[in-house]
């Protein structure tokens, strides 16, 4: 078999029983791998949603047909039902773990059950060994990874949780290859609930390539395409993702103090440019990645990776903090303890506003940089006010009687783009299947960065169609599995060529777009069954009732309703956001 | 609707690499892409004509070499020598730069002779004349087009890509109106995505000079999945040369010409309303 390894294993941690899951050629072609095949397998296992922390729930680690092959193919996806949102969730991470996992002989691993005591899994040469992790429980992610590598060898790639996952913090991350994070949606908390501390992968099984000569030619063309694109060839390489700080701030949509303003006066001090001239040690890159958007940094006392744009924002402008060292060290703490930086920072911001309006006596105030690292630690261990912050912003704001102050969609915190500054991005946030996520349809690309074309960011016309298109392409990339930054340089036709070259199957762009639509609709079906509908495809009221008075997004509000109707129509869903029978028939669902 | 398929689009593209710092590796990549996508031509500097010709042998992709590039202010004889050598080395098309200063001085006979020298030296190779529209008024663009046709050129072309701005639909439209349907119009410079390309094709361009060729073709493949979004109403000022006029980089008179034109433009009110 070309592309895929042809092996997915289901492992019950409670009994140790394992079985090979048969996935036919047709299913692989229709869902590819990664997010798509993971969601398909999850939905087959659970036609009715189960409690994410239930023993029987499954946590699915997936690679894709392109994992371990062409550029940016070191990634992997984790699929389950999110304990933070209750939606279907896939969380993606870079580094090299995906490639190592596949080289160990597997396409995917479905973990069910709960181990009676802490364990970790060693995946080597197609075999899975359950190993005692009692000595690892309580360690942070960095020490865990080092300890496992001491056991299995330095070549083992390790994905692990930290104390936050062990304590089932609802937005606990899975960290791999030191500082790479499957951050969003709380997949780390599910690992914790299963007493699964880590998965280590090592192996040397090659991925069979259908067309080796074409592969070589394509690799060189991809290099050139990435190099020529201004985003992948320049901005991300030189300044990292934080290149966006000044750009988004200049567009008046850099969320400041829990989205109450769109311009942060101290943005420059937390920008990619500032990082480059202060804390940056070197650029870092994932497996086979020519972009290298990662930043290895050093403060006076610590070193690590980050901060990336979303983290700079979450611990910076969002909290009124301009101290780059404090932001960076809060980032390091999240990496070590295993927490999603976006939800962490956003929840603190929500808490700050709750305190300001007198709804909570948590003792938080805007701009208090000195407290950040302690807040992260308290959250990971659910100590002090950390017990409240560990709930995430939606539950925190509801608990204190002001649900409207949580800047979230479906329970997942909205990241660093104020939707009043980009109507398409607003629709993207509202309709994202995993909640307030910028990665499902990155409309910032056309609305702010001019890729693939500049579109008027304040108009709603045509945005529904574009959001659906971007969501579908993203589903294909997540299922292939590749880095989403590649989308700046590569279009759907080239993704089809990549799949053809590696698998030997005659993928075309039309088929892939249908695949993307099928995956997105399947996720929607799951969410419908979990109780989500039109009312959940919404944004916090702040975005439709309050306007900025300054900045270039001033006097703007989100106009969602019209776009939502159009979006449902484009998708072939009814007025409540349920896929119509004819749509399901078209997609073979 | 955009009634343009991929096969038609790739045959309109001169896949371009003209940077001073580009070496053989970049030219090899350019040729590899041109083969893979089936572009009409590669557009390169003269030093790489023979090399590109060898790489593209049997592919059907034409080698197009620039002459008098990028300033155009050398002698006609020097340009003619350069063109003849390019053709000897395998160039099937020549993109020459007009003498912009002479055109602005209204030395029309000199300009016509300059072009004719290159056309004659190029023999069977087709000649395109780069007007460098960023330095010209509408009247000068019209004159440049007429002189090019009179001198035997088969194409007029907007830009080198090295000036303060590149191709704009307004200029392409004017060039097409001037040369008629039988002479080619090549738009080049600043074409970054399919929508840029589409605007220029709609304005009358029959060839495109692009370094972002691959992205443009990829863009067409995206278009068909979301046509409404791509065809949203646009404010013409966002791609009007007057909006990009730059006193630091253009002749004073040209800058003033564009600013004056802007003030009397019917789209100005729309533009101001948008930014209110």
Number of CB atoms found within 10 A of residue A325's CB: 15
Facing B36 at nearest CB: one of A221, A453, A492: A221
Query: Would you state the pLDDT for residue B235?
Result: 77
Q: Say whether pLDDT at B274 is over 80.
A: no
In eight-state DSSP terms, residue A261 is B
Q: Which residues of A touch B197 (CB under 8 A)?
A: none
Same domain, A436 and A376: no
The CATH number linked to A408 is 1.10.569.10
In degrees and rounded to multiples of 5, residue A19 shows phi and psi of -145, 150
Same domain, A401 and A549: no
Query: Would you state the pLDDT for residue B272?
Result: 73
Specify if A390 maps to a domain: yes
- Contact across the interface for A453 and B211, Cβ inside 8 Å: no
Same domain, A250 and A285: yes
Preferred mutation among A457, A491, A562 to probe B, highest tally of B CBs within 10 A: A491
Q: Say whether pLDDT at B270 is over 80.
A: no
User: What is the number of structural domains in chain A?
Assistant: 3
Determine contact: A234 vs chain B, CB below 8 A.
no
Q: Which residue of B has its CA nearest to A555?
A: B276
Tell me which of B95, B128, B195, B196 is the catalytic residue. B95
Name the nearest CA neighbour of A111 among A45, A47, A26: A45
The CATH number linked to A100 is 3.60.9.10
Q: Which residue of B has its CA nearest to A452?
A: B193
Specify if A583 maps to a domain: yes
CA distance B109 to B143: 11
Q: Which residues of B touch A225 (CB under 8 A)?
A: 214-215
CA distance A423 to A556: 10
CA distance A220 to chain B (A): 8
CA distance A30 to A37: 8
Determine contact: A533 vs chain B, CB below 8 A.
no
Q: Which residues of B touch A445 (CB under 8 A)?
A: none
- Contact across the interface for B192 and A455, Cβ inside 8 Å: no
- Contact across the interface for A491 and B226, Cβ inside 8 Å: no
Mean pLDDT of chain A: 96
CA distance A38 to chain B (A): 25
Facing B222 at nearest CB: one of A229, A461, A491: A491
Average confidence (pLDDT) over A4-28: 97
Instruction: Kindly report, residue by residue over A403-455, the tens digit of the pLDDT.
Output: 999 999 999 999 999 999 999 999 999 999 999 999 999 999 999 998 887 88
**Whether residue B259 lies in the annotated active site:** no
Same domain, A385 and A249: yes
**Whether residue B95 lies in the annotated active site:** yes
Same domain, A178 and A278: no
Average confidence (pLDDT) over B135-146: 98
CA distance B23 to chain A (A): 14
Preferred mutation among B18, B55, B199, B222 to probe A, highest tally of A CBs within 10 A: B222
Instruction: Kindly report, residue by residue over A49-63, the tens digit of the pLDDT.
Output: 999 999 999 999 999
Determine contact: A225 vs chain B, CB below 8 A.
yes
Q: Say whether pLDDT at B276 is over 70.
A: no
Determine contact: A303 vs chain B, CB below 8 A.
no
Give the CA distances from residue A142 to residues A72, A160, A308, A376, B169, in Å, rounded to whole numbers and listed in that order.
23, 9, 19, 16, 56
- How many CB pairs below 8 Å do chains A and B form together? 85
**Whether residue B186 lies in the annotated active site:** yes
Same domain, A431 and A508: yes
CA distance B79 to chain A (A): 31
Sign of the dihedral defined by the CA atoms of residues B235, B238, B240, B244, in that order: positive
Mean pLDDT of chain B: 93
Specify if A114 maps to a domain: yes
Q: What is the ipTM of this complex?
A: 0.71
Q: Which residues of B touch A (CB under 8 A)?
A: 29, 32-33, 36, 192-196, 211-212, 214-215, 217-219, 221-222, 225-235, 238
DSSP A522-543: HHHHHHHHTT--GGGS---THH
Tell me which of B14, B79, B128, B157 is the catalytic residue. B157
Specify if A1 maps to a domain: no
Specify if A142 maps to a domain: yes
Specify if A366 maps to a domain: yes
Q: Which CATH superfamily is domain B6-227 in?
A: Aldolase class I (3.20.20.70)
CA distance A58 to A81: 8
Q: Say whether pLDDT at A277 is over 70.
A: yes
Instruction: Kindly report, residue by residue over A299-327, the tens digit of the pLDDT.
Output: 998 999 999 999 999 999 999 999 999 99
- Domain with A583, as residue range(s), is 419-587
Cβ neighbours of residue A3 closer than 8 Å, sequence gap 6 or more: A65, A66, A69, A207, A208, A209, A210, A499, A502, A503, A504
Instruction: Kindly report, residue by residue over A133-167, the tens digit of the pLDDT.
Output: 999 999 999 999 999 999 999 999 999 999 999 99
Specify if A188 maps to a domain: yes
User: Strand (E) positions, A366-493?
Assistant: 408-409, 412-413
Candidate from A298-307, A557-566, B127-136, B257-266 with smallest mean pLDDT: B257-266
Facing A513 at nearest CB: one of B211, B225, B234: B225
């Amino acid at each position: 078999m070309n592309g895929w390894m042809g092996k997915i294993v289901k492992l019950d941690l409670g009994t140790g029983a394992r079985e090979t899951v048969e996935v036919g050629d047709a299913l692989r072609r229709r869902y590819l791998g990664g997010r798509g095949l993971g969601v398909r397998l999850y939905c087959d296992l659970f036609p009715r949603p189960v409690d994410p922390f239930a023993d029987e729930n499954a946590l699915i680690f997936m690679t894709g047909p392109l994992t371990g092959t062409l550029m940016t193919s070191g990634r992997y996806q984790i699929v389950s039902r999110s304990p933070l949102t209750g939606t279907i969730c896939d969380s993606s991470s870079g580094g090299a773990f995906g490639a190592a996992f596949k080289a160990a002989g597997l396409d995917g691993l479905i973990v069910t059950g709960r181990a009676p005591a802490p364990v970790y899994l060693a995946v080597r040469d197609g075999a899975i060994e359950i190993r005692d992790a009692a000595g690892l429980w309580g360690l942070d992610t960095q020490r865990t990874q080092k300890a496992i590598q001491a056991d299995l060898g330095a070549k083992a790639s390790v994905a692990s949780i930290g104390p936050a996952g062990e304590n089932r913090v609802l937005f606990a991350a899975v960290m791999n290859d030191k500082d790479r994070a499957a951050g969003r949606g709380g997949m780390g908390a599910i690992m914790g609930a299963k007493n699964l501390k880590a998965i280590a992968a090592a192996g040397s099984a090659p991925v069979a390539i259908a067309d080796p000569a074409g592969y070589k030619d394509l690799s060189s063309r991809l290099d050139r395409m990435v190099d020529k694109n201004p985003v992948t060839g320049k901005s991300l390489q030189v300044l990292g993702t934080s290149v966006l700080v000044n750009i988004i701030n200049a567009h008046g949509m850099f969320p400041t103090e829990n989205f109450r303003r769109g311009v942060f006066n101290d943005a420059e001090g937390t920008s990619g440019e500032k990082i480059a001239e202060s804390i940056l040690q070197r650029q870092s890159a994932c497996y086979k990645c020519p972009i290298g958007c990662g930043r290895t940094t050093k403060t006076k006392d610590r070193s690590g990776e980050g901060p990336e744009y979303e983290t700079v924002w979450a611990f910076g402008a969002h909290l009124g903090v301009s101290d780059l060292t404090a932001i960076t060290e809060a980032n390091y703490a999240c990496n070590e303890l295993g927490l999603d930086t976006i939800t962490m920072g956003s929840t603190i911001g929500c808490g700050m506003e709750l305190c300001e309006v007198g709804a909570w006596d948590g003792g938080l105030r805007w701009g208090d940089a000195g407290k950040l690292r302690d807040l992260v630690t308290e959250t990971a261990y659910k100590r002090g006010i950390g017990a409240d912050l560990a709930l995430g912003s939606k539950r925190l704001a509801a608990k204190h009687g002001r649900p409207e102050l949580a800047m979230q969609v479906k329970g997942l915190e909205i990241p660093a783009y104020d939707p009043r500054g980009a109507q398409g991005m607003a629709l993207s946030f509202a309709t994202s299947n995993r909640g307030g996520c910028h990665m499902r349809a990155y409309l910032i690309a056309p609305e702010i960065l001019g890729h693939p074309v500049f579109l008027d960011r304040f108009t709603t016309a045509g945005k529904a169609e574009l959001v659906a298109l971007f969501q579908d392409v993203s589903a294909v990339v997540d299922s292939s599995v590749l880095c989403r930054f590649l989308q700046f340089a590569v279009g759907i036709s080239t993704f089809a060529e990549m799949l053809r070259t590696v698998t030997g199957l005659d993928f075309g762009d039309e088929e892939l777009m249908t695949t993307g639509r099928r995956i997105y609709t399947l996720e929607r079906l799951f969410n419908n069954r979990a109780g989500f509908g039109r009312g959940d495809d919404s944004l916090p009221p702040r975005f439709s009732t309050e306007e900025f008075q300054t900045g270039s997004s001033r006097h703007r509000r989100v106009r969602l309703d019209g776009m939502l109707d159009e979006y449902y129509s484009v998708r072939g869903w009814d007025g409540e956001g349920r896929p119509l029978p004819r749509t399901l028939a078209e997609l073979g669902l | 609707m955009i009634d343009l398929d991929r096969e038609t689009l790739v045959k309109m593209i001169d896949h371009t690499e003209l940077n001073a710092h580009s070496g053989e590796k970049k030219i090899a990549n350019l040729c590899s892409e041109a083969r893979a996508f089936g572009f009409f031509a590669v557009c390169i500097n003269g030093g790489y004509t023979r090399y590109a010709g060898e790489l593209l042998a049997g592919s059907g992709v034409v080698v197009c070499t620039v002459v008098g590039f990028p300033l155009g202010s050398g002698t006609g004889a020097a340009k003619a020598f350069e063109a003849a050598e390019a053709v000897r080395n395998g160039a099937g098309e020549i993109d020459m730069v007009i003498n912009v200063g002479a055109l602005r001085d209204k030395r029309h006979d000199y300009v016509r002779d300059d072009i004719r020298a290159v056309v004659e030296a190029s023999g069977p190779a087709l000649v395109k004349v780069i007007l460098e529209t960023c330095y010209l008024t509408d009247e000068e663009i019209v004159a440049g087009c007429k002189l090019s046709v009179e001198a035997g050129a088969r194409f007029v072309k907007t830009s080198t890509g090295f000036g303060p701005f590149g191709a704009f639909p307004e200029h392409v439209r004017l060039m097409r109106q001037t040369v008629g349907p039988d002479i080619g119009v090549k738009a080049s410079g600043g074409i970054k995505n399919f929508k840029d390309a589409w605007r220029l094709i709609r304005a009358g361009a029959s060839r495109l000079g692009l370094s972002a060729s691959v992205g443009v073709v990829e863009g067409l493949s995206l278009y068909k999945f979301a046509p409404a979004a791509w065809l949203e109403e646009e404010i013409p000022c966002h791609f009007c040369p007057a909006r990009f006029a730059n006193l630091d980089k253009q002749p004073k008179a040209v800058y003033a010409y564009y600013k004056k034109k802007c003030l009397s433009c019917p789209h100005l009110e729309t533009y101001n309303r948008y930014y209110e």
